[in-house]
Amino acid sequence: MAEGPRLRALSVPRHTCKHSSACCSSYSVGPLLPDDVVRVEQALEAVREAFPDQNIDEPFTERDYHGATTSFLTKRDGYCTFWRDGTGCTIHSAAGAAEKPLVCQMFPVQIVSTDQGLRLGTRPTCLGDETGWDDGPAVDGAFIERIVGDSRGWVVRDEPDGEGIALQLLSVPDIDTDSIMAFLAGTDRESPPPIEAWLEERLQQLHLEFDKIGDQGPLHSGTSTADVLADFRTWHADRGDEAGSWPEVVPEVLPWVRDAMKRLVFLRQTRLHPTIPWSLVAYVAAARYASAWASAGGSLDRRKLGRGFSTWLIVMENPRLQRTLVEAGPPFAGSEGR
C-alpha cells in the first residue's frame, strides 16, 4: 500500500452479510459521490432487464445535506428503491457489488479520519452482527486497501472529551455495565446508581415517540428494525410484575457487549451523542433492553440479543429519538458532563 496516514484497528475487521436488510432500510442511502451516481445510472439498464417490475424510475432524491443539495438514493415504503424482497439489492444481483454506491459496499466497515490517523473497524449497528465481528470471515484485504485509499469514503470525526478514559474503562477485564454506570456516577462498584426506573421511564417516552414518528426512518413498518421493536414492545407490554426491572447483562455475553461498546467509542460513533457519558448510558440501556428481551423464556437467545442490541443502537442514533432521551435529563447527577 502506498505511504499514507497511520491506520489503526482494534482487530482484523470481520463481517458476513446475513441479509437482515436493516442497512437498506434503516439508513438514508447517501450522500452519493458523483461517480456513485454515474455507476448507478449505468446499472439501471441491467436492473430493468433483470427485474422489469422494479420501480426505479426516479432512483435519486435531492436533499439538503450540510447546506448543499446532494443526491441520495430514493426510498419507497421505507426501503431503498433498489431493494427487492427475496433478492436483496437488485444492483448487486444484476450488475455486481462493485456497481453499488460506495457507502453500500462499505457498510458496516467504517474508516474514520481522526487527529491520530485513520481508524478502521466494523460498526456493531448491523443486525446481522451478533457473531460476525468475532467469527465472520475477514473483510477482503484488497477491498480494505481500496477504501482506505479513497478519502471520499472516510468519515471525519474529531476527538470527543473523555475518549481515552472511555477506551481504558472498556478495556478493563471483566468490567460489567454496573461498573460503567458507577464510574460515570462517581460512585464505587458496590453502589452503582439504580437506573432501572430511569430506563423504564425513558422507554415509555421512546414508545410514545415511535408512535408519533410512525412510518419514517428506521421505524417504517416491515423493516427489520421495526420488526424487532414490534416484538420487543409486545414482550414489554406482557412483562407484568417484572416491568421496571432491567437486570445486568447476562455474564456470558458481557465480553461481547464490552467489545461492541469499545468499537463504538473507537470509531467515534459517540460523536452522534452529546457527550461520551451520554453515549455510554445509551449503550448500557441498549444492552440491558436487548439482554432482558433475549433472555425471556429462561435462556439467552444469542441471535435475538444481537438483533435487539443493534436495533437499539440504531434507534438511539436517530436524532429525534435521541433528543427525547437528552431532554428528559440524565440518569444521575453528573452524567451529562463528565
- Identity of the residue, 93 or 324, whose beta carbon is nearer to ligand SF4 in the bound complex: 93
Choosing from 104, 109, 127, 169, the residue that interacts with ligand SF4 (CB under 6 A) is 104
Min separation Cβ 36 and ligand SF4, Å: 9
Stretch that binds ligand SF4, among 45-53, 79-87, 208-216, 266-274 (CB under 6 A): 79-87
| Contact between residue 127 and residue 20 where contact means Cβ atoms under 8 Å apart | yes
Asked if residue 220 binds ligand SF4 (CB under 6 A), the reply is no
Which residues touch 272 (CB under 8 Å, ≥6 apart)?
279, 317, 322
Contact with ligand SF4 (CB under 6 A): which of 10, 47, 56, 80? 80
Q: Which long-range contacts (CB under 8 A, 24 or more apart) does 304-308 make?
A: 305/130, 305/253, 306/127, 306/128, 306/129, 306/130, 306/131, 307/20, 307/127, 307/130, 307/224, 307/228, 308/228, 308/232
Question: Of 73 and 282, which CB lies nearer to ligand SF4 in the complex structure?
Answer: 73
Judged by CB under 6 A, the number of residues near ligand SF4 is 12
CB of 226 to ligand SF4, least distance (A): 17
Q: How far apart are CA 305 and CA 322, in angstroms?
A: 21
Please tell me whether residue 82 binds ligand SF4 under the rule CB under 6 A: yes
Site for ligand SF4 in 105-144 (CB under 6 A): none
Q: State how far the Cα of 170 lies from the Cα of 258, in Å rounded to an integer.
A: 6
Question: Which listed residue (15, 18, 100, 268) binds ligand SF4 by CB under 6 A?
Answer: 100
Q: Is 309 in the site for ligand SF4 (CB under 6 A)?
A: no
Taking CB under 6 A as the rule, does residue 268 contact ligand SF4? no
For residue 126, give the C-alpha cell: 448491523
- Least distance between ligand SF4 and beta carbon 290 (Å): 24
Alpha-carbon gap, residue 182 to 194, rounded angstroms: 9
Check residue 24 for interaction with ligand SF4 (CB under 6 A). yes
In whole angstroms, the minimum distance from the beta carbon of 28 to ligand SF4 comes to: 9
Give residues with Cβ within 8 angstroms of 227, minimum separation 6. Answer: none
287 binds ligand SF4 (CB under 6 A): no
Rounded Cα distance between 272 and 239, Å, is: 31
Of 123, 148, 153, 147, which Cα lies nearest the Cα of 22?
Answer: 123
Query: Would you count residue 32 as binding ligand SF4 (CB under 6 A)?
Result: no
Site for ligand SF4 in 47-76 (CB under 6 A): 73
Task: Tell me the residue length of the chain.
Answer: 338
- Considering the rule CB under 6 A, would residue 219 count as an interface residue with ligand SF4? no
Residue from 29, 185, 228, 261 binding ligand SF4 (CB under 6 A): 29
Q: Does residue 199 belong to the site contacting ligand SF4 (CB under 6 A)?
A: no
Q: Of 97-105, 147-155, 242-250, 278-286, which part binds ligand SF4 (CB under 6 A)? A: 97-105
DSSP notation for 217-233: GGG-TTSHHHHHHHHHH
Which DSSP state fits 154?
Answer: P
Which three-class secondary structure state does DSSP give residue 246?
Answer: coil
Phi, psi of 228 (to 5 degrees): -60, -45
Q: Which residues bind ligand SF4 (CB under 6 A)?
A: 24, 29, 73, 80, 82-83, 89, 91-92, 100-101, 104
